[in-house]
């Protein structure tokens, strides 16, 4: 899919050097998905108390007019709002457009930005961005461009990476210069001030991101509910899948930020997923179960578990963990939420949160708890924060694996499932003999697999003994 020459998206991608801190996870979005996503990201401005710089590209003035009342509320909380669009009747006349901190930029015919859909929010406390371009007629293929507005599609990505948002805002300011040099100068001063206080790393406040992800999921679900029974939209099933995929992407981005914010163990997610996949293959688990394990491995760090013994109870119950509860908002993610919730259980029944014991602990939870803790302990030995740029030699790495495995073997039958410890021993032996971890891409298309009832049904989590 070709990016429009001279567009902000094309300039950002073309100016990046590899490897970058944060990979760009591209996707195709229906218009309704982008509306829900942007509303969720915008709403967090109202709660962040950060007076952000907000820049948008609405394509046409009529799309801005549909949102102008909403932007009046955002202007009350923002330092500056800039709206780029092809001008239409009423574009400059709406009361929101008269606000002193709201600036309109009339895009010329033929400007590639008029084919883009952007939302950039930059502040020290909260940054987020949607950066997309509409598909061309050729991109739609034989079906051609859709006749229904909701069927329009856009290509791009969204992110919480403050450094990436800052870089894109600079490109947008540069583009505005050809239309309004005075506004460009003003925006450059505002950006310079924000840069002094905005973190350069891609790690916004976890509480803010968690709240935003919850908001994204709720907006996307509301958008899905609004479509039910709509006869006007011929691709409702495709849009439903697109909405769900973006709910999942919201959690994956959150998990990615957790990893990036950890200086000692920034590869936890990818390494745990790789180890889970290898353990699953050694156990000869079915493909759907391995795929479910992979997803649990990607998301487990968004819900830290507490090492607290559960109180005695004839009917164990699970406390409400905020991040896991948000996962449960998505019916097709309830099985994943159950796996993550019970990863702190112990084989002897003294674990957390429900005091489950033995084979009563879901198999995937036993695997996730074992592999995640094994990876964490190896990382602590391998990645000394005082020498984070120095990788250990192969002999040291193998010694670390052996040492950590020995500690786990001593806890077999108490903390860990003895059968899984045996499998872990086989895995470590393979790694010591030259077997490498499989490369796990940071962006994985999981939507189709999650439609499998076995993957989505939480009851199957509690019905899978070790093969």
Q: Set out the domains of the chain in order of their start, with CATH numbers.
A: 8-260 (no CATH), 268-462 (1.10.3210)
Residue pair 91/104 in contact by the 8 Å Cβ criterion: yes
Q: What are the structure tokens assigned to 74, written together?
A: 């955002």
Q: Are 12 and 172 in contact (CB under 8 A)?
A: no
Place of tokens 């819900």: 303
Q: Give the residue from 16, 39, 40, 13 showing the smallest Cα distance to 26.
A: 13
Geometric angle at alpha carbon 96, from 95 and 101, rounded to 5°:
125
Burial bucket for residue 398 (CB in 10 Å: 0-12, 13-18, 19+) = middle
For residues 132 and 39, give the distance between their C-alpha atoms in angstroms, rounded to a whole number: 15
Looking at the DSSP bridge assignments, the partners of residue 82 are 55, 103
Burial class (CB in 10 A: 0-12, 13-18, 19+), 388: exposed
The closest alpha carbon to 343, from 312, 378, 307, 375, belongs to: 307
- The H helix count followed by the E strand count for the chain is 17, 7
pLDDT at site 1: 64
Regions of the chain short of the pLDDT cut 50: 202, 231, 305-321, 387-389, 441-451
- Helix, strand, coil shares, percent, the chain, to 5: 55, 10, 35
DSSP three-state, residue 413:
coil
What is the pLDDT, as a whole number, of residue 208?
65
The rounded distance, in Å, linking the Cα atoms of 121 and 56 is 9
Q: Which of 218, 291, 210, 223 is closest to 251 using CA atoms?
A: 210
- The predicted structure's pLDDT at residue 228: 62
Question: How far is the CA of 415 from the CAs of 6, 140, 346, 439, 465, in angstroms?
Answer: 58, 54, 5, 29, 17
Q: Please tell me the total number of residues recorded for the chain in this structure.
A: 467
Calpha distance 45→42 (Å, rounded): 6
User: 80-86 and 153-159: which strand pairing?
Assistant: unpaired
How many angstroms separate the most distant Cα atoms in the chain? 75
User: Cβ of 190: how many Cβ atoms within 10 Å?
Assistant: 17
Is the backbone of residue 110 left (phi > 0), alpha (psi -120 to 50) or beta?
Answer: left
Tell me if 132 sits within 8 A of 29, measured CB to CB: yes
Of 357, 349, 345, 361, which is closest to residue 466 (Cα–Cα)?
361
Q: What span, in angstroms and rounded, lies between the C-alpha atoms of 156 and 442?
A: 16
The per-residue pLDDT for 467 is 60
Q: How much is the pTM?
A: 0.72
Query: Distance between CA atoms of 26 and 443, rounded to whole angstroms?
Result: 9
Do residues 111 and 84 touch, judged by C-beta distance below 8 A? no
Q: Which has the closest alpha carbon to 378: 290, 294, 268, 457?
A: 268
Residue 90 contacts residue 170 (beta carbons within 8 Å): no
- Cβ atoms within 10 Å of 302's Cβ, excluding its own: 25
pLDDT digits (tens, 9 = 90+) for 176-200: 999 999 999 999 999 999 988 765 5
Q: What pLDDT does residue 309 have? A: 36
């Amino acid at each position: 899919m070709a990016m429009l020459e001279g567009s902000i998206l094309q300039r950002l991608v073309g100016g990046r050097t590899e490897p970058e801190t944060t990979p760009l996870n591209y996707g195709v979005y229906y218009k309704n998905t982008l509306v829900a996503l942007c509303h969720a990201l915008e709403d967090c401005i109202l709660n962040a108390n950060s007076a952000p710089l907000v820049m948008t590209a609405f394509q046409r003035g009529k799309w801005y007019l549909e949102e102008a009342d909403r932007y009046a509320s955002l202007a009350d909380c923002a330092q500056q709002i800039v709206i780029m669009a092809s001008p239409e009747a009423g574009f400059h006349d709406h009361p929101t457009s008269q606000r002193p901190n709201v600036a309109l930029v009339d895009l010329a015919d033929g400007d590639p930005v008029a084919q883009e859909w952007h939302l950039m929010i930059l502040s020290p406390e909260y940054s987020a961005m949607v950066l997309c371009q509409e598909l061309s007629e050729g991109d739609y293929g034989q079906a051609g461009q859709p006749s229904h507005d909701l069927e329009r599609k856009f290509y791009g990505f969204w992110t919480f990476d403050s450094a990436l948002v800052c870089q894109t805002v600079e490109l947008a300011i540069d583009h505005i210069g050809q239309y309004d040099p005075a506004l460009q100068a003003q925006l450059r001063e505002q950006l310079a001030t924000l840069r002094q206080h905005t973190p350069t790393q891609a790690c916004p406040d976890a509480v803010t991101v968690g709240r935003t992800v919850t908001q994204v999921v709720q907006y996307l679900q509301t958008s899905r509910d609004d479509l039910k029974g709509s006869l006007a939209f011929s691709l409702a099933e495709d849009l439903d899948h697109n909405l769900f995929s973006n709910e999942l992407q919201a959690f994956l981005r959150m998990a990615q930020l957790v990893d990036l914010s950890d200086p000692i163990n920034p590869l936890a997610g990818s390494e745990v997923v790789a180890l889970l996949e290898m353990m699953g293959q050694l156990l000869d688990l079915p493909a759907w179960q391995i795929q479910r394990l992979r997803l649990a491995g990607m998301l487990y760090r968004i819900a830290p578990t507490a090492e607290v013994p559960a109180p005695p109870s004839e009917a164990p119950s699970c406390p409400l963990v905020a991040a896991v509860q948000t996962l449960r908002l998505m019916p097709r993610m309830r099985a994943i939420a159950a796996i993550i919730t019970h990863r702190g259980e112990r084989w002897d029944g003294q674990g957390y949160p429900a005091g489950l014991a033995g084979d009563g602990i879901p198999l995937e939870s036993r695997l996730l708890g074992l592999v995640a803790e094994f990876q964490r302990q190896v990382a602590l030995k391998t990645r000394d924060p005082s020498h984070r740029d120095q990788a250990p030699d192969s002999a040291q790495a193998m010694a670390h694996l052996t040492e950590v495995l020995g500690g786990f073997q001593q806890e077999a039958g108490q903390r860990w499932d003895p059968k899984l410890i045996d499998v872990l021993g086989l895995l470590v032996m393979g790694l010591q003999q030259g077997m490498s971890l499989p490369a796990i891409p940071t962006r994985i298309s999981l939507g189709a697999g999650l439609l499998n009832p076995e993957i989505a049904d939480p009851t199957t989590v509690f019905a899978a003994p070790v093969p």
